[in-house]
Amino acid sequence: MNTKLYVGSLSYDSTEDSLQDFFSKAGKVESATIIKDKISGRSKGFGFIEMSSEKEAKTAIETLNGKELDGRTITVDEARPMKKSF
């Protein structure tokens, strides 16, 4: 298992700080990143969390997937490499 997690269905009001605080319930957060539109700078509604260990990443998936953050029910799963489009 990877220590990097995908977080989907984020509220546009969510910040990297609120994401980090939320995931700290499951363990030590190494980084929290919200993906933003290059032109508008607005959140695309998803981001990534890197936990300090695989055990903490697994705990985060089990305990935080389907929970509410900033008024939205979020999806938490193991991050997968981006598929290349041709």
**Model-level pTM?**
0.92
Domains belonging to the chain, first-starting first, are 4-78 (3.30.70.330)
Interval 35-70: pLDDT, tens: 999 999 999 999 999 999 999 999 999 999 999 999
What 25-31 contacts at long range (C-beta under 8 Å, 24+ apart), as own/partner pairs, is: 25/63, 25/64, 26/51, 26/56, 26/59, 26/60, 26/63, 26/64, 27/51, 27/52, 27/53, 27/55, 27/56, 27/57, 27/59, 27/60, 28/52, 28/53, 28/56, 30/3
Whether the per-residue pLDDT at 31 is higher than 80: the answer is: yes
Lowest mean pLDDT among 6-10, 25-29, 56-60, 80-84: 80-84
Mean pLDDT value of segment 2-25: 96
